[in-house]
Structure formats: C-alpha cells, structure tokens
A and B are shown apart, each in its own frame.
Chain A
Amino acid sequence: GAVVSQHPSWVICKSGTSVKIECRSLDFQATTMFWYRQFPKQSLMLMATSNEGSKATYEQGVEKDKFLINHASLTLSTLTVTSAHPEDSSFYICSATTSGRPDTQYFGPGTRLTVL
C-alpha cells in the first residue's frame, strides 16, 4: 500500500515551453501533497504544500506564477512549470500524506526535467 506515482518520469522540453508533471496517490486519499526539487548532490528542497481543494502554500523564494500547483482531487496533484528555462532543469519529487503531517509522507519516484 501507500504507492505514489509520477508521470512522466523523464521529460525534455525546449526553453520557453510549459511542462506538466502529475502526482497520483494510487491506493489512498491524500489530503496533502508536497512538491520538492532536488539538484544534483543537493538536498530535497520543499517548493510548496498543497491541500486538496485549496491554493498551494509556496516556500519563500519559489515563484508561484512559474510553478503552478493544482490539487483538484484527493488522488491527483499537478505541477506545471511555465515558460521553462535551463535553470529549471532538476529532479522534481512529489509526496503525499493522509494525515497532513510531513512525517507520514510517501514519496513518488520523481520526474527528471531537462530544459534545452
């Protein structure tokens, strides 16, 4: 149980285009989903916390107009990177929890974004 999937697992796009990443909780209902970014040899950095049916809460320094997060249902959250640039190339990981607490979050396998 407690499986989280992400799609796509790997995406390459041209600079200036938008990319959507899906995060799904397959066998549980996730009241809260977290989105992280991880650069090579660096830590997971929390980008935003999203609760089903409400606006995401973004961490300081994360541009909400660039990283659009939608959590429309208890099993699906999406992250859209708008007008992507090479510096947005990174590993994006989502996690989901039923409790709203980050200590019980289950991570997805991640999506590698490469912007050319």
Chain B
Amino acid sequence: QKEVEQDPGPLSVPEGAIVSLNCTYSNSAFQYFMWYRQYSRKGPELLMYTYSSGNKEDGRFTAQVDKSSKYISLFIRDSQPSDSATYLCALGDTGFQKLVFGTGTRLLVSP
C-alpha cells in the first residue's frame, strides 16, 4: 500500500464548476499537509499549507484536512481554464525531513 493515494484523473470540468481533489494516506505520523500545482513541464508551486484538521481558505481555494479519516481535500471554486494543471498533495511527518507526494491529479477546465 502506498503511503499516499491520489486519483491521477484526468478530471474534466466546465468553467465555473467547483472542483474537489482528494488524497488519502495511511501513516498517522503525517502532520503537515500541502497542495502544489504543477503546470506541464514545470516545477510545482505551493498553493496551500495546513497542519491541523479543519478548513483553510485562500481566495478560490479551500484545503480541508480530516486526520481521523486520513483524508485531505482541495476545493477550487469558480474554476477557470487557467486552473488546468496537475495538483499534487504532499505530506510531512513530525520529523519533517522530507515530503511524500501523491501521484497528482490532472485537472482540465474547459471554457
């Protein structure tokens, strides 16, 4: 079993839709949760960073963490074609020597 599971997609939605992206994990030692956006042939860029259960909002993006279920989500409201990219979740444990990444979900937002 992988430490982090993420559906690779692709997930296709029309412009304006609410997008839900998810990751599940198996190691309860993970305490830090990040979402990165990666455009094709580019390096990832950090979108959201949280370390507690609950919701964290930043503009059109909301990160949600449920530690009891080992489930994290990223919601994108009013999705735009420019949101088309691969979204990777990344988790860090309490020692925080490295991040473990999900495979990434490819999102396609059509105009």
Contact = CB atoms under 8 A, between A and B. Distances in A.
Interface residues of A, number: 23
B105 to A, nearest CB: 11
B43 A103 contact: no
Q: Is the interface of B mostly helix, strand, loop or mixed?
A: loop
Interface stretch (B12-20, B53-61, B68-76, B90-98): B90-98
B80 interface: no
Contacts of B34: 103
Contacts of B99: 46, 102-103, 105
A43 B43 contact: no
A95 B42 CA distance: 12
Interface in A45-60: 45-46, 49, 59
B92 A103 contact: yes
Contact of A41 (B8, B42, B43): B8
A29 to B, nearest CB: 19
Nearest to B39: A109
Interface in A62-109: 91, 93, 95, 101-103, 105, 107-109
Interface of B: 4, 6, 8, 32, 34, 36, 41-45, 49, 88, 92, 96-99, 101-104
